[in-house]
Amino acid sequence: MMEEPTVFVVDDDPSVRRSVVRLLESAGLRVEGFPSGEAFLERETPRGPGCVVLDVRMSGMSGLELQRRLHATGRPMAIVFITGHGDVPMSVAAMKGGAVDFLLKPFDDEALLAAIDRAIGRDRGWLHEQQELEVLRARFARLTPREQQVFALVTTGMLNKQVAARLGTSEKTIKVHRGRTMTKMEAGSLADLVRHAERLQVTAWNLDSK
């Protein structure tokens, strides 16, 4: 979890790329440089935390295009844009696409490092959430179909009696299912269980439709 982060620098200008890589390395970061968006996409998806320092205007794939592609891969890395000449529409598009910052060249090292720091922090948070979600999914998978039904209905705020009526069984049986579900999902209270349900996006509706 506390794996060392990597900064991916994508800029088609070799001298800029080399200087930025050098600067970040001198700041003690692990850095990889790429001359184009295409080259970066060819690399295997990084598992550990990281961020992309991305030039907006490049020959070939533009920075904004690369941003859209990364989103589609399911590993949306935090991006710090750098540009030699930017306008308002360009920066708006970048920020809407989830960019952490939009820096005009030439930029100060502190500004860049701060932005990278924020970006890596966000990426760590994203990774953490992804890992938590994996745990919850594993627990949910261990529930019996009946327990999953009870889990979905109880987290909508229904009383045991109502759930029993809905599932055509006794209130006592529901009570037993509910107890097992709480244990398996490692929920200490109904509130915990509701939170898990939200993150798993489990609802009565999508259970019914299954």
Partner 1 sequence: MTAPKDTLTPALPAPSGPVERAFGFKRLLEATQIVQWEADAQTRDFTYVGSQAERLLGYPLARWLEPAFWRTHLHPDDLERVLRFREEALREHEAYEFEYRMVAAGGQSVWFHDVVAVQRLDGVAAVIRGFLIDVSKRKRAEATARASAARVRQLIEQAPDAIIAARANGQIAFVNHQAEHLFGYQSGELVGGQIERVLPGQLTRQHLEVPGEQPGAVGPMTVGGSEPATARCADGRTFPAAVNIGRLETDEGLVVVTTVRDVSREVEAEQALRQSEERFRMAATLGADIIAEVNILTGGVVWFGNVDEAMGFERGAFPRTMDGLREQLHPDDRSRVRRVIARDVFERWQAVSFECRMRAQDRSYRHWTVRAAPRSDGDSRPKTFVGVCSDVTEQIVARAEALQHRDALAHVARVSSLGELTGAVAHELNQPLAAILSNAQAAVRLLDRAAPDLRQVGEVLQDIVADDRRASAIIQRLREMMRGESPSRERIDLCSVVREVREIMRSGLSMRGIAVLSEFTSDLSAVVADRIQIEQVVVNLVTNAMQAMEGLSEARLTFRVFQRGDGWQVVTVSDTGRGIAPPMLATMFDPFNSSREGGLGMGLSISRSIIEAHDGEMQAEHLSTGGATVGFALPPARDDRR
Touching partner 1, residues 64-83 (CB under 8 A): 82-83
Element (H or E) spanning 88, and its range? helix 88-96
CA 139 to chain centre: 20
126 binds partner 1 (CB under 8 A): no
Binding segment for partner 1 (CB under 8 A), chosen from 107-115, 133-141, 155-163, 167-175, is 107-115
Using an 8 Å Cβ cutoff, are 163 and 153 in contact?
yes
Nearer to partner 1, 13 or 117 (CB): 13
30 binds partner 1 (CB under 8 A): no
Nearer to partner 1, 42 or 108 (CB): 108
How far apart are alpha carbons 208 and 85 in whole angstroms? Answer: 53
At 79, phi and psi to the nearest 5?
A: -125, 135
CA 89 to chain centre: 26
Binding segment for partner 1 (CB under 8 A), chosen from 9-17, 37-45, 61-69, 124-132, is 9-17
From the CB of 29, what's the least distance to partner 1, in Å?
11
